[in-house]
Chain A
Amino acid sequence: MQRSDLERHAETRRQFLNGFAHQILVCAGLGCLHNDEIIQALRENIAAQGQEQHILVKRVGCMGLCALGPVVLILPEEISYQRVIPSDASEIIAALGKEPVQRLLLPADLPFFTRQHKNVLTLSGRIDPESIDDYLAEGGYTAVLKAITEMRSADIVRQIQESRLRGRGGAGYPTGLKWSTVARATGENKYVVCNADEGDPGAFMDRSILESTPHAVLEGMIIAAYAVGANNGYIYVRAEYPLAVKRLKLAIRAAEQKNLLGPAICGSAFDLSLQIRLGAGAFVCGEETALIASIEGNRGIPRPRPPYPAEKGLWGHPTLINNVETYANIPLIINRGADWFAALGTDKSKGTKVFALTGKINHTGLIEVPMGTTLREIVFEIGGGIPGGHAFKALQTGGPSGGCIPAEHLDTPVSYESLSELGSIMGSGGMIVIDETTSMVEIVKYFMQFCRDESCGKCIPCRVGTAQIHDLLEKFCQHRATNADLAGLEMLCDLLKNTSLCGLGQSAPNPVLSTLKYFRQEYIDRIVDSAHSPLEDAA
């Protein structure tokens, strides 16, 4: 596809959409149940009134506020309705162009909407994820055209480096630096891989991005492949996300048909073939060397690094592995420039970050905020605070590898560094709110059970250590622990952190260590011989 074809497709679609007096957008993400029935009810109602030429009903991706879903958005009026059910259809249609339906109205000035800053999620909930034309109409794939026809590979890598984008999968490694390593690596075969093995329980950023704007992820991968010189790529996605897989498959096929994937992309000499690989329910496969092993058809077992995948990855070839959200940022940086991206965020953490807010919070859903937004703003303003009149206790970030942040640190601006200083991690962006009714020791035991079950078993510290720590935590939960157990717990955490092979084992103690730091009393309260000192106990 040439630039003129792309513009023609986009213009045709825009004209088609502008031909309607009203558009009714219905969230068709996983979190909004019964959206099919809602769409059908709306369409039947419109057909019964012979209004098909004037009103368009469109399935779109996630609008973010999952707690109040299914959400319906009316354009051009920008009116949002909450908790819509199929029988609301006639009332919604009757109100078009008139006073909105008050009982369903979602206030437009809700901080959930006004306090967010959407870059990656701009088109989420606005376009039909299963229509490439919808994406083109919003300027989709212009970044691919620009990169392939106007930029040299080295310029692209430099632009990503200058944007100071860091990996959104968890570790926060500078994306541009990774790209330059793969670009410099020699070898005939290079690969690009998208890590969509979102294994953190309670995190759904990547699922939502894949379900809402799959083409944005493909676009980022195409640009990356062109920049580093790769002609083959894989998207490794969880089998637990069937809707994301379905939409990715459709997106790949549509991009191939429009010559945006496959041989001689956009009439250039650049070829790229992308394939989907289904995960099979192993958390450790989010670790890049384990992910590579899994794509190669093996058990997902990590290996020591170096060599890093950037030098020796899939089948020993240089491989670029980035996370879903990282790729989704790429087209924006190419189109709007590195300075635009670097202007947002903190000194060392640039841009915006998508977070999944869950647990004991009113506005469960998906949000995007600039790095540097405080945790308090996220939980109490955007998130709407804690339901049921309960008190906030802790914010758990980073999943089973992360930590629990107490109320006294809620004014911390969110960044890779600040969360790590608090003993937690950014992780991929899951944020679970814990209220006063939950015991910290219980929740930590839950995370440790998860790590124990998901440990691949290759290295002893992780395989045995997670089981031992779990058993100790069980003793605390049953109020049978001793001072020696507390000392043993701390010793084991230190051992795992320092001697495990991969990130899973190294970070598994984080929930324990952070709660020992901030909620130590909960452990002490569960010790039977707390009157004795650890020294006496040892003697």
Chain B
Amino acid sequence: MPAAHLGPQPEDKRWKIIELAMQRHDYRPEALIETLHAAQSAFGYLDPDTLKYISARLKIPPSKVYGVTTFYNHFNTKPRGEHTLVVCTGTACHVKGNDRILNWMQTRYNLAPGETTPDNRLSLVEVRCLGACALAPVIIPDGAITCQTGFAEATKIITEWLGDAA
């Protein structure tokens, strides 16, 4: 991920992906959100240099690029930790106890949604309903949807999965 700080590197394929996203839309202003998606999936997050670059290429003021980036929940401007735990906070997951899981993460790991542990080991992300309500409460450790039966099992999965080192 540090490559993003260095600005476009011709040999770095990730910049090509971003360039292609803009090209596909003829560098028109409406390419912005699609480009941000491409940049985030390439670098994992959107740092100021990336945003400045996109702003220059699409001829959109940096203030607007920043405004759009921070308006949408999906975009993050800080790097994620080694591991990411996504907790669904949709209604079905809420009534089945995911608020307790979030509280527990706060107490046990001192982590609120959107934050990363100081050792950069774990990021906690809150998502507004994945539509997998039959599996509620849903947690997603590193991208694998985990179906569990409740709070006790969820916390067990999390501690085991982290090797409890965070």
Contact = CB atoms under 8 A, between A and B. Distances in A.
A204 interface: yes
Contacts of A297: 28-34, 68
Contact of A280 (B29, B36, B94): B36
Given A201-B89, A278-B34, A296-B30, A364 B129 contact: no
A505 B112 CA distance: 27
B133 A358 contact: yes
A204 B136 CA distance: 13
A201 B32 contact: no
Given A281-B72, A297-B30, A297-B68, A359 B95 contact: yes
Contact of A33 (B29, B96, B145): B145
Given A239-B74, A359-B92, A364 B133 contact: yes
B147 interface: yes
A204 B91 contact: no
A152 to B, nearest CB: 33
Contacts of B130: 30, 240-241
A204 B91 CA distance: 12
Interface string A48-78: 0000000000000000001101000000000
Given A201-B89, A296-B30, A297-B68, A364 B134 contact: yes
Nearest to B89: A201
A13 to B, nearest CB: 30
A348 interface: no
A281 B95 contact: no
Contacts of A447: 91
A253 B123 CA distance: 36
Nearest to B133: A358
Interface string A290-304: 000011111110000
B127 interface: yes
A471 B20 CA distance: 46
Nearest to A198: B131
A401 interface: no
Contacts of B134: 31, 66-67, 69, 358, 364-365
A356 interface: yes
B71 A282 contact: yes
Nearest to A363: B134
B92 A299 contact: no
A478 interface: no
Interface residues of B, number: 36
B128 interface: yes
A432 B95 contact: yes
Contact of B34 (A66, A277, A360, A438): A277
A443 interface: yes
Contacts of A279: 72, 74
B135 A207 contact: no
Interface string B2-38: 0000000000000000000000000011111110110
B73 interface: yes
B166 interface: no
Contacts of B92: 201-202, 358-359, 364, 432
B132 interface: yes
Interface in B87-115: 89-92, 94-96, 99
Contact of A202 (B36, B75, B91): B91
A380 interface: no
Contacts of A277: 33-34
A300 B72 contact: yes
Contact of B128 (A67, A450, A456): A450
A140 interface: no
A360 B97 CA distance: 12
A283 B128 contact: yes
A446 interface: yes
B67 interface: yes
A360 B95 contact: yes
Contacts of A33: 135, 145, 147
A202 B128 contact: no
A522 interface: no
A274 to B, nearest CB: 15
Given A298-B68, A358-B133, A280 B33 contact: yes
A483 B94 CA distance: 29
Contact of B132 (A30, A280, A294): A30
B95 A434 contact: yes
Contact of B74 (A280, A298, A438, A446): A280
A359 B97 CA distance: 11
Interface in A265-290: 277-283
A399 B133 CA distance: 13
Contacts of A294: 33
Contact of A282 (B29, B73, B127): B73
B91 A432 contact: yes
A396 interface: yes
A523 to B, nearest CB: 19
Contact of B72 (A280, A399, A446): A280
B36 to A, nearest CB: 7
Nearest to B65: A297
A481 B67 CA distance: 37
Contacts of B95: 359-360, 432, 434, 438, 443
Nearest to B75: A280
Contacts of B90: 201-202
Contacts of B127: 240, 281
B147 A241 contact: no
Interface in B115-162: 127-136, 145, 147
B50 to A, nearest CB: 16
Given A208-B131, A280-B75, 12 more contacts: A200-B129, A240-B128, A279-B72, A280-B72, A282-B72, A295-B30, A297-B31, A297-B32, A297-B33, A359-B95, A359-B133, A446-B91
Task: Please give me the 5 A-B residue pairs with the lowest Cβ-Cβ distance, nearest first.
Answer: A66-B134, A204-B131, A280-B72, A281-B73, A201-B90
24 contacts: A30-B132, A31-B133, A200-B129, A201-B89, A202-B90, A204-B129, A204-B131, A207-B131, A240-B74, A240-B127, A240-B129, A278-B34, A279-B72, A280-B36, A282-B73, A294-B33, A296-B29, A297-B33, A297-B68, A358-B91, A358-B134, A364-B136, A432-B92, A432-B95
